[in-house]
Amino acid sequence: MTDKDKYQDLLKGIESPKVRARGEAGSPQNSLRFKLYKVAFDRIEDGIKSESFFEVIAIADSLITDRIQALVQFLRREEPEHYVHTSIGLALELLQVEMKSRSIDLGDEFKSLRKKLNEWVPERNIAAHGFVTITRKNLNEDLDHRLEHLKNTAITGAELARITTNLTTKVLRELHIKTNSSIKQ
């Protein structure tokens, strides 16, 4: 079984309600997406100031996942089916699968970002899903430790959301230019 076969059940037609709405210049979804991103980044900034770290983590996760899925969707632009909306971890896996299958290298800057995102995801999971859970592994982590972890995870997530948004925008522009120039030749 190839990597692509492993994820076959996640592929649906572009009109499926579970598939990310494709980014198209001047479209209603792009207009809405622009507004949502602005509000999301404003709420992240406000959330850090007000110590609403769970909210910051959730919004950062949403932004990062959407940008990674935008890249995956662009790579599959000629395909009749696209992946359904997924978690950040799975979106990163799908990006890797699509890059590998198309022999695409998004450069060292993006490799570095992917590494940082893959390191952040488990920290996000601990903060979002394990804050109140006590196991033998975390029995000695007191409230102050958990609050500090939550804060650090939120701040890192906020930084990664901004970096991911900026870098995927840059990469998508470069891919659009490369695609358009190869069509004209």
> Taking 90 as the threshold, does the pLDDT of residue 22 lie above it?
no
- For 184, residues 6+ apart whose C-beta sits below 8 A from its C-beta are none
pLDDT at res. 50: 98
What's the pTM value of the predicted model, to 2 decimals? 0.91
What average pLDDT does this structure show over 163-169? 97
Amino acid at 139: L
> Taking 60 as the threshold, does the pLDDT of residue 183 lie above it?
no
pLDDT at res. 48: 98
What average pLDDT does this structure show over 105-129? 95
SS3 of residue 84 by DSSP: strand
CB pairs under 8 A, 24+ apart, for 80-83? Answer: 80/13, 80/14, 81/11, 81/12, 81/13, 81/14, 82/11, 82/12, 82/13, 82/14, 82/16, 82/19, 82/20, 82/22, 83/7, 83/10, 83/11, 83/12, 83/19
Q: Please give the angle made by the CA atoms of 70, 73 and 77, to the nearest 5 degrees.
A: 135
pLDDT at res. 178: 79
> Taking 70 as the threshold, does the pLDDT of residue 167 lie above it?
yes
> Taking 80 as the threshold, does the pLDDT of residue 184 lie above it?
no
Report the distance separating Cα 95 and Cα 180, nearest Å. Answer: 22
Q: How confident is the model at residue 2 (pLDDT cuts 50, 70, 90)?
A: low
Assign residue 149 a region (left: φ > 0; alpha: ψ between -120 and 50; beta: otherwise): alpha
Report the distance separating Cα 156 and Cα 124, nearest Å. Answer: 10
Class of residue 9 by CB neighbours under 10 A (exposed 0-12, middle 13-18, buried 19+) = exposed
DSSP letter (8 states) at residue 132: S
Instruction: Summarize pLDDT for 46-86 with one digit per residue, the tens.
Output: 999 999 999 999 999 999 999 999 999 999 998 989 999 99
Instruction: Summarize pLDDT for 81-113 with one digit per residue, the tens.
Output: 999 999 999 999 999 999 999 999 999 999 999
